Structure 1
Amino acid sequence: MAKVALLIGVSEYELGLNPLPAAVKDVAALQRILQDSEMGGFDEVKVLTNPDPQSMQYEVETLFTGRTKDDLVLLFFSGHGIKDDSNNLYFATRITQKNPKGDLIRSTAVPARFIHEVMNNSRAKRQAIILDCCFSGAFDPTLQTKDDGSVDLQGQLGAEGRVVLTSSSSTQYSFEQQGSDLSLYTRYLVEGIETGAAIAMKMARSQFESYMTMPPAKCKKLHLI
């Protein structure tokens, strides 16, 4: 059984999307945790920062290809989540753009549909996604928001045997707080795993660790969003 992860952080964007400096720091912090033998114990952790759509899709597909049913495969994304006018979810890359009307130029981003298909085609029966991106909510001038819009996460990314942990729901924003090295969600996730200080993150850690040691047959019955 192998435990492998791909950590994607996108901090640099074209005009129209706010830069998110914490995104690349998020993946570095999580990489350290996952590679620690006493915390994550992952065999392979790859980091991808500020990719274009082609390289991001290549790495995601490579992550899930050639696995066995007993493998644990983790995908982490920190950056902007964007929906099109049909409420389809996309993950922004460093070249993602919107047209003058504010609509997404879809060829510049990675569709959740692609990731969903790749995961469905993988032989690995233990799959996990952690998304530190946003969907909707209120605005606070001391925080930088990561795009808005309601998205059906369960329909676009969920499946049997797959855990999806997100920093926000369809009615909340994910925030990057000014003056903090990491985004709020990743910061508390890392702190919770390291120290157990955050109750919510302890619960997330407990769920995730139980999933990491669960036999594939039982994973098929598990579905979390």
Structure 2
Amino acid sequence: MQRKAILIESSNAVIGKPLPGAAQDVKNWQNFLQSDVGGMWNDNEIADIPSCPTWEKVLEEVITCRECPYYVFIVFSGHGAFDKNLNKDVISLNHNQVIPVEDICETVSNITKNAVIIIDACREEKDYVFPTPFNDFTQLPDWNAIFESLRRPSLTKPLCESALSITAYFPYTDMQELRGAYLMDIKEA
């Protein structure tokens, strides 16, 4: 079975204060995926995506999945909102492109029904000038403070994408056998 992970971080996608945590999130996800408990993904199974990619670059990676992968895992970490005009959740990939989450889901579902998509972004309601909020961001001098508002409930403890090694619980399991079991479970899901 083939699989592909597409880890997208847009830590500096808008005018204003960058989100350094987004870049760290992607590193944490990669470490998790490559751990035994995360499925022992190989480097060649994880797409090489630049920071703040274009929608075309993301599409290119998704479309290459059409040729072989059975399972696609996509993570996005960065700015996002709920676009009141479109009545849709959107993510900000870069300075010029805001993409509806629905478009990502639709694109992936045309490739495979075996996919996980995780969006780590805010969902504050916003009136966007679609398809790009560039002017919108520059017109609001305090946009970052609004966007990352403390009015929203927050977690008392940070999330961590790492975990203890599964071999601590199953010390006699061969790593290749464990990877094979993980792949079979995905295929049968």
Instruction: Tell me the TM-score normalized by structure 1.
Output: 0.54
Q: How far apart in 2 are the matches of 1:173 and 1:45? A: 33
User: Letter of the aligned partner of 1:111 in structure 2?
Assistant: P
- Quote the Cα distance in structure 2 between the aligned partners of 1:73 and 1:82: 24
CA RMSD of aligned residues (A): 3.7
Aligned residue among 154, 171, 194 for 2:164: 194
Aligned residues: 152
Q: Is contact 1:11–1:20 with CA below 8 Å preserved after alignment? A: yes
Which of 91, 102, 116 is the equivalent residue of 1:113?
A: 102
Partner residue of 2:120 out of 132, 135, 140: 132
- In the TM superposition, residue 6 of structure 1 has moved relative to its aligned partner by 0.7
Residue deviations 1:160-214 (CA, integer Å, cap 9, x gap): xxxxxxxxxxxx6678x9xxxxx943xx232xx3369xxxxxxxxxxxx989714
How many angstroms apart in 1 are the aligned matches of 2:183 and 2:154? 25
Q: Secondary structure at the match of 1:40?
A: coil
Measured at CA, do residues 214 and 7 of structure 1 come closer, stay the same or move farther in structure 2, by a change above 3 Å? Answer: closer
Aligned CA distance change for structure 1 residues 82 and 120 (closer, same or farther; 3 Å): same
Partner Cα distance (1:127, 1:7) in 2: 13
| Secondary structure at 2:13 match in 1 | coil
Partners of 1:213 and 1:132 in 2: CA distance: 25
Q: Which residue matches 1:79?
A: 78
Percent identity over paired residues: 26
Residues 41, 6 of structure 1: alpha-carbon distance in 2 compared, 3 angstrom cutoff: same
Partner residue in 2 for 1:20:
19
Structure 1 distance, partners of 2:99, 2:54, is 9
In 2: Cα distance, 1:210 partner to 1:136 partner: 36
Paired residue for 2:173? none
Contact 1:82 1:147 in 2 (8 A): no
5 Å-filtered alignment, 1:48-197, equals 48=49, 49-62=51-64, 64-67=65-68, 71-84=70-83, 85-96=85-96, 108-122=97-111, 124-136=112-124, 184-185=158-159, 188-190=160-162, 193-194=163-164
Change (3 A) 1:12 1:129: same
- Equivalent position SS for 2:46: strand
Residue 8 of structure 2 corresponds to: 8
**What is the CA–CA distance in structure 2 between the aligned matches of 1:83 and 1:134, rounded to whole Å?**
8
Structure having the higher Rg? 2
Distance 1:114 1:133, change over 3 A: same
1 or 2, which has the higher helix percentage?
2
Q: Distance in 2 between matches of 1:189 and 1:35?
A: 12
* Distance across 1 between alignment mates of 2:185 and 2:117: 16
Q: TM-score when scaled to structure 2?
A: 0.63
Unaligned residue ranges in structure 2 (runs of 5+) = 126-144, 167-180
